[in-house]
Amino acid sequence: MGICRCTIACATKDIMADDKKLTTRASDFSAWYNEVVLRAELADYSPVRGCMVIRPDGYGIWERMQRTLDDMFKATGHRNAYFPLFIPESFLHKEAQHVKGFAPETAVVTHGGGKKLEEPLVVRPTSETIIYAMFAKWVQSYRDLPLLINQWANVVRWEMRTRLFLRTLEFLWQEGHTAHATHDEAEEEARKILGLYRDFMEGWMAMPVVTGQKTEAEKFAGALRTYSCEAMMQDNKALQAGTSHNLGQNFAKAFDLKFQSESGDEEYAWNTSWGVSTRLVGGLVMTHGDDNGLRIPPLLAPTEVVIVPIWRKEEERSRVMEAADRVCRDISNWERRDPNALRVRVDTRENLKPGAKYYEWELRGVPIRMELGPRDLDANQGVLVRRDTRAKQSVSLDAIAEEIETVLETMQDDMLSAARDRREQNSHRGAVSYEQFKELMEGDGAFVYAGWCDGEKCEAQIKEETKATIRCLPDEEFRSAEAPSRCLLCNADATTEALWAKAY
RNA sequence: CGGGACGUGGCGCAGCCCGGUAGCGCACCUGAAUGGGGUUCAGGGGGUCGCGGGUUCAAAUCCCGCCGUCCCGACCA
């Protein structure tokens, strides 16, 4: 609820209006986020603590993400497979760092069919162990490599604090797992996927990311190196949107994944694993949403255009409805079932005034609203309203499909630019004193690029004192023109530049 | 798991301090009118007051326990 600044005379009216309004991002970002997710019907709470139901509008976004990513994985030679939900508990213990990282947050099945199991089964928190155990059976020779597998699955991590989409006990994701003959091939794969993720996040989600490498403290449990895509949300906190790991030979050694090389030697394979999850939907909300609700970038919007018919008299009603239906069919290529055609729907509800519909579709984030009334029909036009800018334009019905395509493309680009501008405005480079850094982190938050001595003590102490962490050691294109020379905390010579921020 | 707030028709809340058997707004249903930025009027349906105990003639209200949600810490895609 917003604050009423009205006089008593209009208090009632204002409260009514407020009842329909979202908490603003500025007043309480977390509350705003929850309200958007619930009221835009992306998800709902489940009876089980920390779990959520993904509703059709939320799942529709995920489906579009899935389809796009799946195409990208296939185009780079990966194939889908499915590995089981249950993993023998002993498997998790075979890689020392891995079990250390995941054991505390696993759900374990101890009974089945009414009997106690001989060996408890872990509900997968991630599938490295079962997958590399299977890879070991399948790989004999270098000719079997590389082995490029992806799976779409659910995983369970018993988190303490949960947030819709951002951190739930169960979530949906894809996990890619590959085996290679050499370290360099694995490294190339891990980097290739990181780039693929970035292309998806920027090109489809209109969510700019900083790519880079995780520090030892932040890397995946069991990995040699972890790379990540870090996006800035509107509260200036970082969201780790995707990770790609070079696992080295750690899992190969733990699961005896060996192959005979060209020269006849027996060698351990080199692995990578990488994933993005339904967390991306949360990232989408927090990147683009505004105080009127969700804003979905056109390429991922389950509905791109909603047509709102407008009429006064009965005669107008039939005329407008008929036209709306016709336009919908024309521009959506409905009868041809063309998957690339526009995703359009007509809001035929008769119990709501047009204005109410406008608010609702804005809340739901549909990119374009098309208002179609008698005056428009007389002029053979429709009114297009962009969700991102709320700008209106009248367009001839003869050219409406083309114009919509143009507007959608423009919106997609504009949303990425706006998100990037916002990130840059809240990013700080150059010499930042630790005092300034603390002020930034205590205040509005920020991305801060600063020098780091590579010392885990400095990293830990800064985290302790400011809650900010090194999100990544940025890839070259994100590094400052002039490399920082001093460590943010200890002032010793900096060995690298680090991106600091508070994180989700 | 520690600190704080909250839990009352679908949603948002009042009632609780000072026990007496539940109310408001929105939403929903019916009818009529209305319809280019949150329609109006009339009629109507819906709640064992988070769950479980206790105190009492009587509990939404007082006491104890538990569960859940949100915020803040320790853990994390």
pLDDT at position A112: 85
Question: Does residue A176 have a pLDDT over 60?
Answer: yes
Give the mean model confidence (pLDDT) for residues A119-141: 96
pLDDT (tens digit, 9 = 90+) per residue, A405-458? 999 999 999 999 999 999 999 999 988 899 999 989 888 889 999 999 999 999
Name the more confident of A169 and A205: A205
Residue A383 CB lies within 7 Å of the nucleic strand B: yes
pLDDT at position A12: 28
pLDDT at position A2: 26
Rounded CA–C1' distance between A28 and B45, in angstroms = 36
pLDDT (tens digit, 9 = 90+) per residue, A376-399? 999 999 999 999 999 999 999 999
Residue A164 CB lies within 7 Å of the nucleic strand B: yes
Q: Which two tokens stand for residue A92?
A: 């998790």
Q: Which two tokens stand for residue A271?
A: 């692995």
Rounded CA–C1' distance between A235 and B71, in angstroms = 15
- For chain A residues 400-439, those near strand B by a CB cutoff of 7 A are none
Q: What percent of chain A has pLDDT over 90?
A: 74
Question: Does residue A4 have a pLDDT over 70?
Answer: no
Give CA–CA dist A145/A140, Å, rounded: 9
- Say if pTM beats, i.e. exceeds, 0.90: yes
- For chain A residues 318-377, those near strand B by a CB cutoff of 7 A are 350-356, 358-360, 362-363, 371-377
Residues in CB range of A71: below 8 A, 6 or more apart: none
Give the mean model confidence (pLDDT) for residues A146-173: 92
Nearest-CA neighbor of A283 among A383, A185, A393, A202? A202
pLDDT at position A15: 33
State chain A's mean pLDDT as an integer.
Answer: 91
Give the mean model confidence (pLDDT) for residues A51-58: 89
Rounded CA–C1' distance between A349 and B46, in angstroms = 24
Range list of H helices, A277-399: 279-288, 314-332, 354-364, 374-378
Rounded CA–C1' distance between A51 and B72, in angstroms = 22
- When pLDDT is cut at 50, 70 and 90, the band that residue A500 belongs to is very high
- For chain A residues 6-35, those near strand B by a CB cutoff of 7 A are 15-17, 19-21, 30-31, 34
Give CA–CA dist A230/A363, Å, rounded: 26
Give the mean model confidence (pLDDT) for residues A190-202: 98
User: Which residue's C-alpha is at the least distance from the C1' of B12?
Assistant: A19
Give the mean model confidence (pLDDT) for residues A60-69: 96
pLDDT at position A8: 24
Residue keyed to tokens 């760092």 = A97
pLDDT (tens digit, 9 = 90+) per residue, A325-340? 999 998 987 666 677 7
Rounded CA–C1' distance between A282 and B52, in angstroms = 37
pLDDT at position A9: 25
